[in-house]
Every structure is written in C-alpha cells, then in structure tokens.
Amino acid sequence: MKKVMFVCKRNSCRSQMAEGFATTLGKGKIEVSSSGLEASRVHPTAIKVMEEIGINITDQTSDPLSKFDAHNYDAVISLCGCGVNLPQEWVLRDIFEDWQLDDPDGQPLETFYRVRDEIKEKVESLIQTLET
C-alpha cells in the first residue's frame, strides 16, 4: 500500500483537509499522514467545513515534519508552495507535487470552502495516480 505525506507550513488547514479526504476516499488503498514545517493546531474552521461534508478530522493532530522519516513515504504533496523549503529527501520521493493552494486561514469562510473543494479534486486524482 502506498504511503502519502501531505505537508504545509503549519499543518493546520490545507494539509489537515487533505489528510481527511485521503483517509476517507483512499481507505484500503493508501496510508496517509500530514505534517507541517512547524506544528500548530487543527484549525477549527477546517474541522467545521470538513464535518459539513461528513468527514471528521477532530482526532487528527498537527505534527512537525521532523517527526517523520521521508524514506517511509512514496508520495509527498506540498499544499502551500513550501516544497522549496523541504529537506531534499522529501522532495526526492517517487512522487512529489506542490499544489500551491491558497491559505484559507484568516480569509472569509468562502475561501475555506473553495480550498476544501480544490483539495478534494486533487486528492481524488492523486489516489487514481497511485492505483495505477
């Protein structure tokens, strides 16, 4: 089973939503983790907008990338353009993508919804890629 790491700056919004989608949509197909260049918290609005579509991310935690070993992952997805700041071993995985999605933190609620929906589409595509 392929292992995927979603990484973002603070591991509070985008990477948490990606983890929630990938865990749900990729159940039995992929293993998923998320982390940040630094750890913070799971953003309450991210929890809310995911809950509205039936995905519960309340038990997810915000963890620093340094807690994980790059060699344990097949795919690394940066959600915020932070790929340029990742240690090289993370960028050199079999699959590395930098989705460069807007940070919804501090933005209107509509931004959370838009980014959430963009993440869902990208996660669905990633899962298809990993299955081939």
Q: Are strands 30-36 and 2-8 parallel, antiparallel or unpaired?
A: parallel
Taking the C-alpha atoms of residue 62 and residue 128, their distance in angstroms, rounded to an integer, is 26
Sign of CA dihedral 106, 110, 116, 121: negative
User: Catalytic residues, which ones?
Assistant: 8, 80
Contact between 52 and 70 under an 8 Å Cβ cutoff? The reply is: no
User: Cβ-count burial of 87 within 10 angstroms (0-12 exposed, 13-18 middle, 19+ buried)?
Assistant: exposed
